Structure 1
Amino acid sequence: MDELIDILTPKGEFTGKTALKSEAHKNGWFHATVHIWLFTSDKKILLQKRALTKKVFPGLWDISVAGHIGAGEAILTSAKREVFEEIGLELEEKDLIKIGTRIHQVKHKNGIQDNEHHHVFIAELKVPISTLKIQVEEVDAIKLFDLSILKDTKNLENVLLSRFNEYYVSVYNKIIELLNLQKF
Protein backbone atom coordinates (compact mmCIF):
# COMPACT_ATOMS: atom_id res chain seq x y z
CA MET A 1 0.00 0.00 0.00
CA ASP A 2 1.35 3.42 -0.96
CA GLU A 3 1.15 5.93 1.84
CA LEU A 4 2.24 9.50 2.51
CA ILE A 5 5.42 9.69 4.62
CA ASP A 6 7.71 12.40 5.95
CA ILE A 7 11.03 12.87 4.16
CA LEU A 8 14.05 13.10 6.47
CA THR A 9 17.65 14.19 6.15
CA PRO A 10 20.33 11.48 6.32
CA LYS A 11 20.67 12.41 10.02
CA GLY A 12 16.96 11.79 10.62
CA GLU A 13 15.78 15.39 10.84
CA PHE A 14 12.48 16.44 9.30
CA THR A 15 12.80 18.29 5.99
CA GLY A 16 9.21 19.57 6.05
CA LYS A 17 8.51 17.61 2.86
CA THR A 18 6.26 14.59 2.38
CA ALA A 19 6.05 12.08 -0.44
CA LEU A 20 4.44 8.80 -1.29
CA LYS A 21 6.39 5.81 0.00
CA SER A 22 6.90 4.65 -3.60
CA GLU A 23 8.50 8.00 -4.51
CA ALA A 24 10.81 7.86 -1.49
CA HIS A 25 11.91 4.33 -2.45
CA LYS A 26 12.38 5.30 -6.10
CA ASN A 27 14.48 8.37 -5.25
CA GLY A 28 16.28 7.02 -2.21
CA TRP A 29 14.92 9.67 0.14
CA PHE A 30 15.39 9.04 3.83
CA HIS A 31 12.27 8.28 5.85
CA ALA A 32 11.29 6.62 9.14
CA THR A 33 10.02 3.15 9.95
CA VAL A 34 9.23 1.14 13.07
CA HIS A 35 10.44 -2.34 13.95
CA ILE A 36 8.68 -4.15 16.76
CA TRP A 37 10.19 -7.41 18.02
CA LEU A 38 7.75 -9.45 20.12
CA PHE A 39 9.19 -11.96 22.56
CA THR A 40 7.80 -14.31 25.21
CA SER A 41 8.88 -14.80 28.81
CA ASP A 42 10.07 -18.32 27.88
CA LYS A 43 12.61 -16.93 25.37
CA LYS A 44 10.73 -17.22 22.09
CA ILE A 45 10.61 -14.60 19.34
CA LEU A 46 7.64 -14.04 17.07
CA LEU A 47 8.60 -13.83 13.40
CA GLN A 48 6.30 -13.11 10.50
CA LYS A 49 6.59 -14.66 7.08
CA ARG A 50 6.36 -11.77 4.64
CA ALA A 51 3.67 -12.10 2.00
CA LEU A 52 4.89 -13.34 -1.38
CA THR A 53 3.45 -10.16 -2.90
CA LYS A 54 5.89 -7.94 -0.97
CA LYS A 55 8.30 -5.98 -3.20
CA VAL A 56 11.32 -6.67 -0.98
CA PHE A 57 12.18 -9.91 0.79
CA PRO A 58 8.96 -11.77 -0.16
CA GLY A 59 8.44 -15.02 1.74
CA LEU A 60 11.18 -14.23 4.28
CA TRP A 61 10.64 -14.96 7.98
CA ASP A 62 11.39 -11.53 9.37
CA ILE A 63 10.79 -9.00 12.16
CA SER A 64 7.62 -9.55 14.21
CA VAL A 65 6.10 -6.34 12.86
CA ALA A 66 7.53 -3.50 10.79
CA GLY A 67 6.15 -0.60 8.84
CA HIS A 68 6.48 2.96 7.69
CA ILE A 69 5.64 5.92 9.88
CA GLY A 70 2.91 7.97 8.25
CA ALA A 71 3.36 11.68 7.53
CA GLY A 72 2.84 13.61 10.76
CA GLU A 73 2.37 10.42 12.77
CA ALA A 74 4.08 9.98 16.13
CA ILE A 75 6.56 7.10 16.36
CA LEU A 76 4.73 5.25 19.15
CA THR A 77 1.38 5.76 17.45
CA SER A 78 2.84 4.21 14.32
CA ALA A 79 4.30 1.27 16.24
CA LYS A 80 0.96 0.52 17.92
CA ARG A 81 -0.91 0.92 14.61
CA GLU A 82 1.42 -1.41 12.71
CA VAL A 83 1.18 -4.12 15.40
CA PHE A 84 -2.60 -3.93 15.32
CA GLU A 85 -2.82 -3.87 11.50
CA GLU A 86 -0.39 -6.71 10.84
CA ILE A 87 -1.22 -9.15 13.65
CA GLY A 88 -4.33 -7.80 15.40
CA LEU A 89 -2.58 -7.18 18.73
CA GLU A 90 -3.42 -4.09 20.77
CA LEU A 91 -0.46 -2.77 22.72
CA GLU A 92 -0.23 0.18 25.07
CA GLU A 93 2.59 2.69 24.76
CA LYS A 94 4.01 1.40 28.06
CA ASP A 95 4.37 -2.08 26.48
CA LEU A 96 6.76 -0.80 23.82
CA ILE A 97 10.38 -0.43 24.90
CA LYS A 98 12.54 1.53 22.49
CA ILE A 99 15.99 0.00 22.21
CA GLY A 100 17.42 2.29 19.56
CA THR A 101 17.33 3.80 16.12
CA ARG A 102 19.40 2.44 13.28
CA ILE A 103 20.16 3.73 9.83
CA HIS A 104 19.42 1.21 7.11
CA GLN A 105 20.57 1.73 3.53
CA VAL A 106 19.93 -0.99 0.96
CA LYS A 107 19.51 -0.76 -2.80
CA HIS A 108 17.39 -3.67 -4.02
CA LYS A 109 17.67 -5.33 -7.44
CA ASN A 110 14.14 -4.16 -8.32
CA GLY A 111 15.23 -0.50 -8.02
CA ILE A 112 13.84 0.17 -4.54
CA GLN A 113 16.27 2.21 -2.46
CA ASP A 114 15.61 1.78 1.26
CA ASN A 115 17.18 4.70 3.08
CA GLU A 116 15.48 4.45 6.42
CA HIS A 117 15.75 5.34 10.06
CA HIS A 118 14.41 2.29 11.91
CA HIS A 119 12.94 3.04 15.34
CA VAL A 120 13.41 -0.31 17.06
CA PHE A 121 11.17 -1.56 19.88
CA ILE A 122 10.81 -4.74 21.88
CA ALA A 123 7.61 -5.82 23.62
CA GLU A 124 6.56 -8.91 25.51
CA LEU A 125 3.94 -11.03 23.78
CA LYS A 126 1.53 -12.03 26.53
CA VAL A 127 -1.18 -13.75 24.48
CA PRO A 128 -1.14 -17.05 22.57
CA ILE A 129 -0.35 -16.56 18.88
CA SER A 130 -3.54 -18.46 18.08
CA THR A 131 -5.44 -15.33 19.19
CA LEU A 132 -3.64 -13.10 16.68
CA LYS A 133 -5.13 -12.22 13.31
CA ILE A 134 -2.70 -11.65 10.46
CA GLN A 135 -3.16 -9.07 7.72
CA VAL A 136 -3.05 -11.35 4.67
CA GLU A 137 -1.94 -8.55 2.33
CA GLU A 138 1.26 -8.16 4.36
CA VAL A 139 1.82 -11.41 6.23
CA ASP A 140 1.63 -15.06 5.13
CA ALA A 141 2.15 -16.57 8.58
CA ILE A 142 3.46 -15.99 12.09
CA LYS A 143 5.43 -18.40 14.22
CA LEU A 144 7.36 -18.52 17.48
CA PHE A 145 11.04 -19.40 17.12
CA ASP A 146 13.60 -19.96 19.84
CA LEU A 147 15.09 -16.56 20.72
CA SER A 148 18.59 -17.89 19.99
CA ILE A 149 17.75 -17.76 16.28
CA LEU A 150 18.66 -14.07 16.46
CA LYS A 151 22.25 -14.96 17.37
CA ASP A 152 23.04 -17.26 14.46
CA THR A 153 21.45 -16.53 11.10
CA LYS A 154 24.33 -17.81 8.97
CA ASN A 155 22.97 -21.27 8.13
CA LEU A 156 19.30 -20.45 7.96
CA GLU A 157 17.36 -20.50 4.74
CA ASN A 158 14.58 -17.95 4.32
CA VAL A 159 14.75 -16.92 7.98
CA LEU A 160 16.17 -13.46 8.64
CA LEU A 161 19.15 -12.20 6.66
CA SER A 162 22.68 -13.05 7.77
CA ARG A 163 24.00 -9.67 6.59
CA PHE A 164 21.98 -8.04 9.40
CA ASN A 165 23.27 -10.48 12.05
CA GLU A 166 24.82 -7.68 14.15
CA TYR A 167 21.42 -5.97 14.36
CA TYR A 168 19.66 -9.20 15.36
CA VAL A 169 22.28 -9.91 18.04
CA SER A 170 21.73 -6.44 19.50
CA VAL A 171 17.97 -7.14 19.69
CA TYR A 172 18.67 -10.52 21.30
CA ASN A 173 20.93 -8.90 23.91
CA LYS A 174 18.31 -6.28 24.83
CA ILE A 175 15.59 -8.92 25.21
CA ILE A 176 17.83 -11.13 27.38
CA GLU A 177 18.77 -8.10 29.47
CA LEU A 178 15.09 -7.26 30.01
CA LEU A 179 14.15 -10.87 30.83
CA ASN A 180 16.99 -11.04 33.37
CA LEU A 181 15.79 -7.81 34.98
CA GLN A 182 12.27 -9.19 35.24
CA LYS A 183 13.54 -12.11 37.34
CA PHE A 184 14.42 -9.76 40.21
Structure 2
Amino acid sequence: MTERLKVFDEDYRYIGEETRDMVHEKGLWHETFHCWLVDETNVYIQKRSYAKKDFPGLYDITAAGHLLASEKVMDGIREVEEELGITVDSAKLLKAGVVRDVIRLPGFIDKEFTNVFLYQSTFSPTDFSLQKEEVEGIYTVLINDLKALFQNERYRVLCTNLMDGVQGEATLNDFVPHETDYFNKVAEMLEREK
Protein backbone atom coordinates (compact mmCIF):
# COMPACT_ATOMS: atom_id res chain seq x y z
CA MET A 1 0.00 0.00 0.00
CA THR A 2 1.31 3.45 -0.95
CA GLU A 3 1.45 5.87 1.96
CA ARG A 4 -0.29 9.20 1.38
CA LEU A 5 0.57 12.33 3.33
CA LYS A 6 -1.17 15.67 3.80
CA VAL A 7 0.56 18.47 1.92
CA PHE A 8 0.77 22.06 3.19
CA ASP A 9 1.89 25.45 1.95
CA GLU A 10 4.75 27.35 3.66
CA ASP A 11 2.30 28.77 6.21
CA TYR A 12 1.10 25.31 7.32
CA ARG A 13 -2.22 25.56 5.46
CA TYR A 14 -3.57 22.29 4.08
CA ILE A 15 -3.54 22.13 0.27
CA GLY A 16 -4.05 18.43 -0.55
CA GLU A 17 -2.50 14.97 -0.46
CA GLU A 18 0.37 13.23 -2.22
CA THR A 19 2.27 9.96 -1.98
CA ARG A 20 5.18 9.89 0.46
CA ASP A 21 7.66 9.31 -2.37
CA MET A 22 6.38 12.31 -4.33
CA VAL A 23 6.37 14.50 -1.21
CA HIS A 24 10.10 13.87 -0.79
CA GLU A 25 10.90 13.98 -4.50
CA LYS A 26 9.18 17.37 -4.96
CA GLY A 27 10.13 18.77 -1.54
CA LEU A 28 6.54 19.37 -0.38
CA TRP A 29 5.70 20.49 3.15
CA HIS A 30 4.14 17.74 5.29
CA GLU A 31 3.55 16.84 8.96
CA THR A 32 5.58 14.69 11.31
CA PHE A 33 5.32 13.70 14.97
CA HIS A 34 8.45 14.00 17.16
CA CYS A 35 8.46 12.75 20.74
CA TRP A 36 11.41 13.28 23.08
CA LEU A 37 11.31 11.10 26.21
CA VAL A 38 12.84 12.77 29.27
CA ASP A 39 13.19 12.12 32.97
CA GLU A 40 14.46 14.46 35.69
CA THR A 41 18.03 14.57 34.35
CA ASN A 42 18.20 12.74 31.00
CA VAL A 43 16.95 12.84 27.44
CA TYR A 44 16.43 9.46 25.81
CA ILE A 45 17.63 9.29 22.21
CA GLN A 46 17.44 6.49 19.71
CA LYS A 47 20.21 5.13 17.57
CA ARG A 48 18.69 4.37 14.19
CA SER A 49 18.95 0.83 12.87
CA TYR A 50 21.89 0.14 10.58
CA ALA A 51 19.32 -1.38 8.19
CA LYS A 52 17.55 1.98 7.68
CA LYS A 53 17.68 3.50 4.19
CA ASP A 54 18.06 7.03 5.56
CA PHE A 55 20.69 7.94 8.17
CA PRO A 56 21.52 4.41 9.39
CA GLY A 57 23.30 4.22 12.75
CA LEU A 58 22.86 7.90 13.61
CA TYR A 59 21.37 9.26 16.83
CA ASP A 60 17.94 10.86 16.56
CA ILE A 61 14.72 11.88 18.28
CA THR A 62 13.49 9.27 20.77
CA ALA A 63 10.59 8.40 18.44
CA ALA A 64 9.32 10.13 15.32
CA GLY A 65 7.47 9.52 12.12
CA HIS A 66 5.39 10.87 9.29
CA LEU A 67 1.70 11.49 9.84
CA LEU A 68 -0.47 9.81 7.22
CA ALA A 69 -3.19 11.72 5.38
CA SER A 70 -5.86 9.96 7.45
CA GLU A 71 -4.23 10.84 10.80
CA LYS A 72 -4.49 13.69 13.27
CA VAL A 73 -1.36 14.95 15.04
CA MET A 74 -2.07 12.99 18.24
CA ASP A 75 -2.24 9.78 16.22
CA GLY A 76 1.54 10.07 16.02
CA ILE A 77 1.67 8.49 19.48
CA ARG A 78 1.65 5.20 17.57
CA GLU A 79 5.29 5.90 16.61
CA VAL A 80 6.38 5.69 20.24
CA GLU A 81 4.49 2.45 20.72
CA GLU A 82 5.65 0.88 17.42
CA GLU A 83 9.33 1.86 17.61
CA LEU A 84 9.94 1.61 21.36
CA GLY A 85 7.14 -0.52 22.81
CA ILE A 86 6.28 2.30 25.25
CA THR A 87 2.62 2.96 25.99
CA VAL A 88 2.12 6.72 26.14
CA ASP A 89 -0.38 8.35 28.48
CA SER A 90 -1.63 11.15 26.23
CA ALA A 91 -2.58 13.22 29.31
CA LYS A 92 1.15 13.42 30.19
CA LEU A 93 2.26 14.29 26.65
CA LEU A 94 3.35 17.93 26.51
CA LYS A 95 3.09 19.71 23.15
CA ALA A 96 6.22 21.80 22.91
CA GLY A 97 5.40 23.40 19.57
CA VAL A 98 5.66 23.11 15.81
CA VAL A 99 9.11 23.53 14.29
CA ARG A 100 9.96 23.73 10.60
CA ASP A 101 12.77 21.37 9.61
CA VAL A 102 14.32 20.78 6.17
CA ILE A 103 16.80 18.05 5.25
CA ARG A 104 18.17 18.04 1.69
CA LEU A 105 19.91 15.07 0.09
CA PRO A 106 20.44 14.17 -3.57
CA GLY A 107 16.98 13.27 -4.93
CA PHE A 108 15.36 13.77 -1.49
CA ILE A 109 13.99 16.95 0.11
CA ASP A 110 12.30 16.47 3.47
CA LYS A 111 10.33 19.63 4.38
CA GLU A 112 8.56 18.98 7.65
CA PHE A 113 6.27 20.75 10.04
CA THR A 114 7.43 18.80 13.08
CA ASN A 115 4.91 18.59 15.89
CA VAL A 116 7.28 18.30 18.84
CA PHE A 117 6.23 16.69 22.11
CA LEU A 118 7.99 15.98 25.39
CA TYR A 119 7.04 13.01 27.52
CA GLN A 120 8.40 13.06 31.05
CA SER A 121 8.46 9.84 33.04
CA THR A 122 10.93 7.35 34.47
CA PHE A 123 12.11 4.52 32.26
CA SER A 124 14.03 1.30 32.78
CA PRO A 125 15.47 -1.05 30.16
CA THR A 126 12.57 -3.48 30.63
CA ASP A 127 10.07 -0.77 29.60
CA PHE A 128 11.36 -0.86 26.03
CA SER A 129 10.66 -3.37 23.30
CA LEU A 130 12.56 -2.04 20.29
CA GLN A 131 11.42 -2.45 16.69
CA LYS A 132 14.80 -3.70 15.44
CA GLU A 133 14.30 -2.74 11.79
CA GLU A 134 13.86 0.87 13.00
CA VAL A 135 15.85 1.25 16.23
CA GLU A 136 19.29 -0.12 17.08
CA GLY A 137 19.28 1.08 20.70
CA ILE A 138 18.14 3.64 23.27
CA TYR A 139 20.68 5.92 24.92
CA THR A 140 20.55 8.54 27.65
CA VAL A 141 22.25 11.94 27.56
CA LEU A 142 22.15 14.50 30.35
CA ILE A 143 19.61 17.20 29.46
CA ASN A 144 22.08 20.05 30.01
CA ASP A 145 24.73 18.31 27.90
CA LEU A 146 22.36 17.68 24.98
CA LYS A 147 21.13 21.30 25.11
CA ALA A 148 24.75 22.51 25.02
CA LEU A 149 25.53 20.22 22.07
CA PHE A 150 22.46 21.40 20.15
CA GLN A 151 23.41 25.05 20.78
CA ASN A 152 27.06 24.51 19.78
CA GLU A 153 28.26 25.28 23.30
CA ARG A 154 29.79 21.83 23.56
CA TYR A 155 31.52 19.64 20.96
CA ARG A 156 30.73 16.16 22.33
CA VAL A 157 28.46 14.49 24.87
CA LEU A 158 28.47 11.21 26.76
CA CYS A 159 25.80 8.73 25.61
CA THR A 160 24.92 5.74 27.77
CA ASN A 161 23.30 2.66 26.26
CA LEU A 162 20.21 2.08 28.40
CA MET A 163 20.28 -1.69 27.89
CA ASP A 164 23.89 -2.50 28.82
CA GLY A 165 25.28 0.69 30.38
CA VAL A 166 28.09 0.98 27.84
CA GLN A 167 29.14 4.59 27.37
CA GLY A 168 30.50 6.41 24.35
CA GLU A 169 30.88 9.93 23.08
CA ALA A 170 28.89 11.59 20.31
CA THR A 171 29.21 14.84 18.39
CA LEU A 172 26.54 16.65 16.41
CA ASN A 173 27.87 14.82 13.32
CA ASP A 174 26.65 11.57 14.92
CA PHE A 175 23.04 12.85 14.81
CA VAL A 176 20.60 12.97 11.91
CA PRO A 177 21.39 16.34 10.24
CA HIS A 178 18.38 18.37 11.31
CA GLU A 179 18.57 22.12 10.73
CA THR A 180 20.41 24.24 13.30
CA ASP A 181 17.13 26.05 14.03
CA TYR A 182 15.45 22.72 14.84
CA PHE A 183 18.19 21.78 17.32
CA ASN A 184 18.05 25.25 18.90
CA LYS A 185 14.28 25.10 19.33
CA VAL A 186 14.44 21.62 20.88
CA ALA A 187 17.12 22.89 23.28
CA GLU A 188 14.84 25.80 24.27
CA MET A 189 11.93 23.40 24.80
CA LEU A 190 14.05 21.17 27.03
CA GLU A 191 15.10 24.22 29.06
CA ARG A 192 11.50 25.40 29.53
CA GLU A 193 10.32 22.03 30.76
CA LYS A 194 13.09 21.35 33.27
Fold equivalence (TM over 0.5): yes
Q: Which residue of 2 aligns with 1:125?
A: 121
- Distance change (3 Å), C-alpha of 1:160 and 1:173: same
Q: Which residue of 1 aligns with 2:166?
A: none
Aligned partner of 1:6: which letter? K
CA RMSD of aligned residues (A): 2.2
Give the % identical residues.
27
Contact (CA 8 Å) 1:61, 1:158: kept in 2 or not? no
Q: Which residue of 2 aligns with 1:75?
A: 73
Contact (CA 8 Å) 2:147, 2:190: kept in 1 or not? no
| Residue ranges of structure 1 left out of the alignment (5+ in a row) | 180-184
Aligned partner of 2:123: which letter? V
Q: Which residue of 1 aligns with 2:139?
A: 143
Q: Which residue of 2 aligns with 1:160?
A: 175
Q: Which residue of 2 aligns with 1:89?
A: 86
Partner residue of 1:66 out of 64, 74, 79? 64
Separation (CA, whole Å) in 2 of partners of 1:169 and 1:116: 16
Say which SS state the counterpart of residue 149 (structure 2) adopts. coil
| Residue ranges of structure 2 left out of the alignment (5+ in a row) | 157-170
Contact (CA 8 Å) 1:49, 1:139: kept in 2 or not? yes
TM-score, scaled relative to structure 1: 0.84
Aligned partner of 1:57: which letter? F
Contact (CA 8 Å) 2:101, 2:182: kept in 1 or not? no
Separation (CA, whole Å) in 1 of partners of 2:191 and 2:111: 29
Q: Which residue of 2 aligns with 1:101?
A: 98
